Structure 1
Amino acid sequence: MEQGWRERRWTRRAKAGDGSRLKPFRWWQMTTRSVMSITLRDAEGRIVVHTIDVRHGGDASDGVVRARLYRDGALHLVSRVPARFAVHGGHIEVRVSESGLRRCHFLADDGTEQQLAPDSRSAEGRRLQLAQRHPVASSVLGALSIVLLLVGIGLNALQIAEPISQIPPIADTLGTFESPLHLDPWLNVALGIGAALGAIERASRLRYHWLLDSGAGT
């Protein structure tokens, strides 16, 4: 599959790993670490487990968020995100947002793509298990996360618009805007927490939309 200049740049910045072993996933890392795997054949036809490990808080040494590619548990390549690792038959692409993983897919040379499978102990793995075992509850939870984000975005926009409209150049050109809502601080905090939980829920399903999840992604 043809790569654009951006994808080529992501591929070039991957550095060789030191062969260190993949550390096991711990329960307290559910919201701070993502581990995703896929089984592929190498150039010799051998079956190799490729695992992506992302620490969302960044590395302890410099705070930079990096993706690490392990082959059968040994560190093979390292790159800051967004990352694109060359593997036999294609690439593995990793992107993140402020809430977690945004994308972790194998892109084959024939144009097909496949999402990597999450570690069963991770947030992504537990969310996938919920979807498989309780699809109705999963759908309700997914819809609720969208509602929380939309409410948070809408109310914040209304409240932010008022002080912005009072800036003299804007007020002289467009006039001022008075928000119909003035929420108590505790309610703003509650809505902010709800929106954050909604964003985390969507990230656990590797869902991303520029409007809903624009706290950012790389």
Structure 2
Amino acid sequence: MQRFRWWQVPGRALFHLRLIGVDGELTEYAVDLRHWGNQSSGETKAHLYREGRHHAQSTIPAAFGVEGGTIEVSMSNFGMKRCHYVTDGGVERQLIPDPRSAEGRRARLDRNHPSLSRGIGAVAVIMLLIGVVLLALQLAEPISQIPPVAERIGPWESPLHLPLWLNITLGVGAALASMERALRLRFSWLDTLGN
């Protein structure tokens, strides 16, 4: 497995898992994803390494069978959605991000500066909520002008008309908020709607 390099921060995710097998031996796994590096075929692939050697690969979403369970991996348009180990009994835990990766750096910020981390998380949620409200308002007006809908409820005009620059700024803010949430593997319906 290749070492994580600083220039790979925007395009690579690397997660680690240590498992103790039934024989008491410690086994180290790593899940390596190249967000942009393997897009030529149009599909992103996850690579599973066992003790530093390539063990398996799969297109995303992926499920790798390992001792006592499965490693589940999925992505959103903005980054990681899920990278968890799920035991055969249904207990799940998130894999540990490599400290040099973007996800690892975000986890370190959370550990070292929890108040700042919570503040950034709150701003991200607010930006996504703004994105959802704007999307709803912008979709409601043209939908209300469809003849059958207009006959039933009447045409509706949005009370909010933002200048183009503000619309673009809020859209970029919602995208950045989704990226921040992806760094913490906090994906929800809000991320889908906000963008």
Output the TM-score relative to the length of structure 2. 0.92
Alignment of 1:76-95 (within 5 A): 76-95=55-74
1:175, CA displacement in angstroms? Answer: 1.8
Greater CA drift, 38-47 or 119-128: 38-47
Provide the C-alpha distance between the structure 1 equivalents of 2:168 and 2:80, rounded to a whole number of angstroms: 25
Provide the C-alpha distance between the structure 1 equivalents of 2:50 and 2:177, rounded to a whole number of angstroms: 33
Provide the C-alpha distance between the structure 2 equivalents of 1:111 and 1:156, rounded to a whole number of angstroms: 37
Match of 2:191 in 1: 213
Match of 1:19 in 2: none
> Per the alignment, do residues 167 and 205 of structure 1 end up closer, same or farther by CA in structure 2, a change over 3 Å counting?
same
Match of 1:41 in 2: 20
1:155, CA displacement in angstroms? Answer: 1.4
Residue identity over aligned pairs, in percent, reads 50
Opposite residue 139 of structure 2, the aligned amino acid is I
Structural RMSD (CA):
1.8
* Contact residue 102 and residue 208 of structure 1 kept, 8 A: yes
Give the 3-state SS of the residue equivalent to 1:121 in structure 2: coil
Output the TM-score relative to the length of structure 1. 0.83
Greater CA drift, 173-182 or 128-137: 173-182
Opposite residue 207 of structure 1, the aligned amino acid is R
Alignment of 1:141-160 (within 5 A): 141-160=120-139
Any unmatched runs of 5+ in structure 2?
none
* Contact residue 132 and residue 193 of structure 2 kept, 8 A: no
- Give the total of aligned pairs: 194
Q: Among 109, 123, 128, which residue is 2:88 paired with?
A: 109
Provide the C-alpha distance between the structure 2 equivalents of 1:61 and 1:158, rounded to a whole number of angstroms: 37
* Contact residue 58 and residue 66 of structure 1 kept, 8 A: no
* Contact residue 95 and residue 104 of structure 1 kept, 8 A: yes
* Contact residue 97 and residue 215 of structure 1 kept, 8 A: no
1:178 and 2:157 matched: yes
1:55, CA displacement in angstroms? Answer: 2.0
1:74, CA displacement in angstroms? Answer: 1.4
Provide the C-alpha distance between the structure 2 equivalents of 1:135 and 1:65, rounded to a whole number of angstroms: 32
> Per the alignment, do residues 215 and 77 of structure 1 end up closer, same or farther by CA in structure 2, a change over 3 Å counting?
farther
CA deviations over 1:110-163 (Å, ceiling 9, x no partner): 332221100111111011100110010011111000000101111122122112
1:58, CA displacement in angstroms? Answer: 6.3
Provide the C-alpha distance between the structure 1 equivalents of 2:37 and 2:6, rounded to a whole number of angstroms: 18
Provide the C-alpha distance between the structure 2 equivalents of 1:154 and 1:135, rounded to a whole number of angstroms: 29
Alignment of 1:1-218 (within 5 A): 22-42=1-21, 44-57=23-36, 59-210=38-189, 212-214=190-192
* Contact residue 98 and residue 215 of structure 1 kept, 8 A: no
